[in-house]
Amino acid sequence: MKLEPMYDRVVVEKIKKPDVSKGGVYQGMLKEKVHKAKVIAVGKGRINIDGALIPLILKEGDVVAIVDGIGAEMKIEGKEYLVIKEDSILAIIKEG
């Protein structure tokens, strides 16, 4: 099954991560829990006031940082996904 989010929404799948970051920060010390997630699908973009389509920055396969409690949870074929707006994503995580 292929998911195609609407407009400026993104489908992500959380990536399990350890309780301690590389910098030694325990997740319990953070005000909001931050998770890594992989972008599974992206919408076509948002429509501005003039009716023009503005494409999203994210693309399938990007790894991003998100906080707990955002988006709509959905379960498809045994996998759990979140559908969130692109502007709810904190950062793109680039390895290396």
Residue 27, pLDDT > 80, answer no
* Cα 39 to Cα 58: distance, rounded to the nearest angstrom: 8
pLDDT at 13: 92
Cβ-based neighbours of 55, under 8 Å, separated by 6 or more:
44, 45
pLDDT at 54: 94
Is there a domain that residue 4 lies in?
A: no
- Which of 16, 4, 1 minimizes the C-alpha distance to 60? 4
Is there a domain that residue 36 lies in?
A: yes
Residue 8, pLDDT > 80, answer yes
Number of structural domains (the chain) is 1
**Residue type at 36 in one-letter notation:** K
- Which of 1, 5, 15 minimizes the C-alpha distance to 71? 5
pLDDT tens for residues 32-90?
Answer: 688 899 999 999 999 999 999 999 999 999 999 998 888 889 988 888 999 999 999 99
Is there a domain that residue 3 lies in?
A: no
For position 78, which CATH number holds? 2.30.33.40
Is there a domain that residue 65 lies in?
A: yes
Within 10 angstroms of residue 47's Cβ, the number of other Cβ atoms is 12
Q: What confidence tier does 21 reach under pLDDT thresholds 50, 70, 90?
A: low
pLDDT at 34: 82
DSSP bridge partners of 91: 65
Task: Tell me the residue range of the domain where 46 lies.
Answer: 9-93
